[in-house]
Amino acid sequence: MAKQKYDFDLIVLGSGGGGSVAALIAVGAGKRVAMVEPGEMGGECPNYGCVPTKSLLHAAGIYDEAKQAQQFGIRSGTLTYNYPSIKAWKDLAVERTGTTEGKRLYESEGIKLIEGAARFISPHEVTVNRRHISAEHFLIATGTHNFIPPIEGLEEAGYITFKEAVNVTRPPKSVFIIGSGSVGCEFAELFAIFGSKVHLSDITPRILAKEDEAVSELVREIFEEERGMNVLTNTKVLRVAREGLAKRVYYQQGPTEKSIKVDEILVATGKLANVDIGLENAGVEYTPRGINVNEHMQTTARHIFAAGDVVGPYNYTHTAIYQSRIAANNILHKQKIAADYRAVPRVIFLHPEVASVGLTEDECIKRDLRVKKAIAPIAIIGRANTSNVDKGFVKVITNEKGILIGASIVSPRAGEMIHELTLAIQMGLNAQAVANTIHAFPTWSEAVRIACSKVAKS
């Protein structure tokens, strides 16, 4: 406990998952805690990220399934949608996360909330709206901001990012998406389902470049064949120009330069850490990728910790929360705990969903690991028959001893299925152990058992 030498025991910069969890743990342990938030309470996830996008994608999924319902003998009149109502549904989901109540909630827990941007002016002191406040410990959870590539004419022509895309009042008739990571792909799917002509571009040779190559190939096939998207890989956007109310995007694919006229441009080219907070005044080292921390989430200034997207290596709410818990423990207790990223589940909420955990095959090759792998196509299981699904797979990777080290799934409910493999990797189980486990028939998870059985026999 601080000896009242400082205003607070802990000041948390940022009210998102990376900050709020530690703040609540610390105040629960009797510490004097302040939380500084320059934007909306709760940070990106509930306001612009996971919650609104998943709500919109849920509505899109229902609309898409309804369009295909005829094959199951279901008849309906004209099927249509009202996007303002879909947006209202999304707003309700956001509201139900409690972000609007957040301030009151935290204050009722005893956390002092300070609205404004914090900036370190010395190792134990920050300034917020010219008010100087000090603390024994700090937790930096300031998140990220969008990286906007320097493309000629982009600023003048105008563009949207995910922040605006969740609040459009109607889907654009046509959209050019720059960046085919998880954010780019989720919005590509959302707008395509609601009738937009989607051009999905990336400078990389494949979409979802961080995922297993088999995932990228299948998602591309679904995007092109079922969603009617124009997928442009190995594509560099050269410049953008306004054409009346529309925008013309000039891009280079191989040696040729082409152009497309679209209604809207969505930039989804990644994020940069919010590190312009006077870290130099506190002795905290960082790179453009984020704040340097050790396995205890401790920065180069030993009393300052960092968690969430500002640290990486993953930009997920669940990793931010995990890191925040670790930071809180290590601030409060002498017995330190370390972060372990062997089994971080990653989910992309497409239809079908994409989920992965641990290493991809590419990463194994880069690390020169000798591995075994097996794929179980979704089409071979009973649930695929009863649901009339023929696209998808479960791919598992083990080390030479058969211990599971990675998995990728493309399947309905992949986001739920992945947790069985996440637990197996976390616990160091071999594939045979999963293969020996009874899986209910007919469930999607049977494909997990089959893939594990195949790799165990190989």
Partner 1 sequence: MRTTIVKIHGQTQPYDEHKLYASIYAACLSIQTPSGEAEVTAKHVVKTLRSWLKDKPEVTSHDIRLKAAHLLNTYNPHAAYIYKHHGKI
**Would you say how long the chain is, in residues?**
458
Of 117 and 389, nearer to partner 1 (C-beta) is 117
Helix (H) or strand (E) holding 420: helix 414-426
DSSP code for 430: B
* Min dist. Cβ of residue 147 to partner 1 (A): 18
Residue closer to partner 1, measured from CB, 119 or 236 = 119
Cα–Cα dist 445/34, whole Å: 44
Measure the CA angle with vertex 316, ends 311 and 317; round to 5°: 100
Long-range CB contact pairs, 291-294, < 8 A, 24+? 291/140
Whether the CB-CB separation of 99 and 41 falls below 8 Å is answered with yes
Is 355 in contact with 414 (CB distance < 8 Å)?
yes
Close Cβ partners of 256 (under 8 Å, ≥ 6 residues apart): none
Smaller CB separation from partner 1, 278 or 402: 278
127 or 426: CB nearest partner 1? 127
Closest approach, Cβ 17 to partner 1, in A, equals 24
Q: Smallest distance, Å, CB 119 to partner 1?
A: 7
CB of residue 291 to partner 1, shortest distance in Å: 17
The one-character DSSP state at 428 is: T
Tell me the closest approach of the beta carbon of residue 276 to partner 1, in angstroms.
8
Instruction: Give 37's strand partners.
Output: 115
In the complex, least distance from residue 127 CB atom to partner 1, rounded to whole angstroms: 4
In the bound state with partner 1, the residue whose beta carbon lies nearer, of 121 and 337, is: 121
Question: What residues have CB less than 8 Å from 59, skipping those under 6 apart?
Answer: 81, 86, 89, 90
276 vs 340, beta carbon nearer partner 1:
276
Assess contact for 126 and 133: CB atoms under 8 A: yes
Interatomic CA distance for residues 83 and 78, integer angstroms: 16
Query: Please, which residue, 37 or 264, has the CB nearer to partner 1?
Result: 37
Q: CA 390 → CA 333, 380, 386, 411, 432, distances in Å?
A: 52, 8, 11, 10, 26
Q: Which is nearer to partner 1, 208 or 273 (CB)?
A: 273
Is 142 or 323 the residue whose CB approaches partner 1 more closely? Answer: 142
* Tokens 């005893």 -> residue: 110
Minimum distance of partner 1 from residue 204's CB (angstroms): 29
Task: Give the CA dihedral 205, 211, 215, 221, nearest 10 degrees.
Answer: -40
123 vs 195, beta carbon nearer partner 1: 123
Distance between first and last Cα of the chain: 56
101, burial (CB in 10 Å: exposed 0-12, middle 13-18, buried 19+):
middle
Nearer to partner 1, 104 or 132 (CB): 132
Interface with partner 1 by CB under 8 A: which residues?
A: 117, 119, 121, 127, 129-130, 278, 280-281
Q: Give the shortest CB-117-to-partner 1 separation in angstroms.
A: 7
Least separation in angstroms between CB 37 and partner 1: 15
The Cα–Cα gap between 10 and 303 comes to 10
**Shortest approach of partner 1 to residue 121 CB, angstroms?**
5
Indicate the angle between helix axes 182-193 and 213-225, nearest 10 degrees.
20
193, amino acid identity? I
Give the shortest CB-116-to-partner 1 separation in angstroms.
Answer: 8
